[in-house]
Structure 1
Amino acid sequence: MGSVLGAWLFYGVGAVMGRERMRAIARRLPLVDIEDVDKAERWFRRYGYSAVFFGRMIPLSRSLISIPAGIERMPVWKFLLLTLAGSLIWNTVFVLAGFYLGENWHVVEQYAGILQKAVIAGVVLFVGWWVAAKVVRRRRRSVVS
């Protein structure tokens, strides 16, 4: 229920704020390019309902996909139904994994620690590259202007 209520809140933010206000906020955020916002919006327009459903299973997208759904005024009942279905599948996978692993969780835990460190290192490297790319792009724009 928390997943659905949170998504509905972000849907409402998108619906109330609208495209232009959301773009104005994005322009003021550091390291956010308006081109990226436009690209995300085009992606949503292209994949709409699928984006909402499958977006529930992708970590960062899970919350943010609700905003363009609200901006585009996707029918609320469809949005909530797709959000419920996607969240239900995602959460059920983790609940069932915990249930079936049960007493054997300690076996997985030793490998999970290694995997967790690898994922953290990958995310840190990606964020570092992403920030550096944004800074270089802004410097190039300011030199050209």
Structure 2
Amino acid sequence: MLDWITNTITALNYWGIALLMFLENIIPPIPSELIMPLAGFTVTQGKLTFWGVIVAGTTGSMLGALPWYYVSLKVGEHQLKKWVDRYGGWVTLTNEDIKKSQDWFKKYGGGVVLFGRLIPGIRTLISIPAGLQKMPFLEFFGYSLIGSLCWNLLLTYAGFVLGKNYKLVDKFLGPVTIVVLGGLVLLFIFWLVQRKKQRKRQ
């Protein structure tokens, strides 16, 4: 897997990063935890620019988030689960994965799309409940863009700082993700409180 990711980025540069991040959002086992840190390491070698990597990775992430959203929106839960029973193994997707992502969505609302993009194992699947719950496209796109941008910034910067040790990103990602997620949750709560105050004033 690592050799394939390395060869793709080396051969296609920004296009390779965008392609890999697109596939990462379609096929869960392809890890962004390796793609973006490796791209960050490539920046230290002067082959790519930091912001070019961010734009490429985020573009690929956004393009990859759309297929599952539209499929879920159009076919509905019953047909989607029926399809997953037959073909889900090809993309390592199970009905249990769908149920887990739906539970997250129902528990935390639309904002979970943003936070879900920062959580390994959930980020690839979060488009599905958004589509099943018929989340408005602009809201889905906005939350996905912010979450994907934050995630790609975190991973790319980590790879940039660690250099040749970029593989360590995956090891330390859990605690860092929790800290970042906690900060975003606090910001989201603050935003909700301020919004309620504005409504009361009106």
Post-superposition offset of 1:46: 1.9
**Structure exhibiting the larger radius of gyration computed from Cα positions:** 1
Per the alignment, residue 16 of structure 1 pairs with 74
4+ residue runs of structure 1 moved beyond 6 angstroms? 30-33
Contact 1:55 1:65 in 2 (8 A): yes
Task: Give the CA deviation at 1:11.
Answer: 0.5
Q: Unaligned regions of 5+ residues in structure 1, if any?
A: 117-145
Tell me the equivalent position of 2:62: 4
Superposition deviation, residue 77 in structure 1:
0.4
* Gap runs ≥5 in structure 2: 1-58, 173-202
Matched, 1:49 2:107: no
User: Deviations along 1:59-93, whole A, 9 cap, x unmatched?
Assistant: 22222110110111101101000000000001011
In 2, Cα distance between equivalents of 1:95 and 1:38: 31
Say whether the 8 Å CA contact 2:113–2:127 is kept in structure 1.
yes
The 8 Å contact of residues 15 and 70 in structure 1, kept in 2 or not, is answered as: yes
- Identify the residue that residue 153 of structure 2 maps to in structure 1: 92
The 8 Å contact of residues 10 and 63 in structure 1, kept in 2 or not, is answered as: no
Q: Matched residue pairs, number?
A: 111
Evaluate the alpha carbon distance shift between residue 75 and residue 47 of structure 1 in structure 2; reply closer, same or farther with a 3 A threshold.
same
Q: 1:56 to 1:33 in 2, by over 3 A?
A: closer
Q: Distance in 2 between matches of 1:6 and 1:52?
A: 14
The aligned counterpart of 2:30 is none
**Bigger fraction of residues in helix:** 1
Query: Does the 8 A contact of 2:84 with 2:94 survive in 1?
Result: yes
Name the counterpart of 1:61. Answer: 122
TM-score (norm 1): 0.61
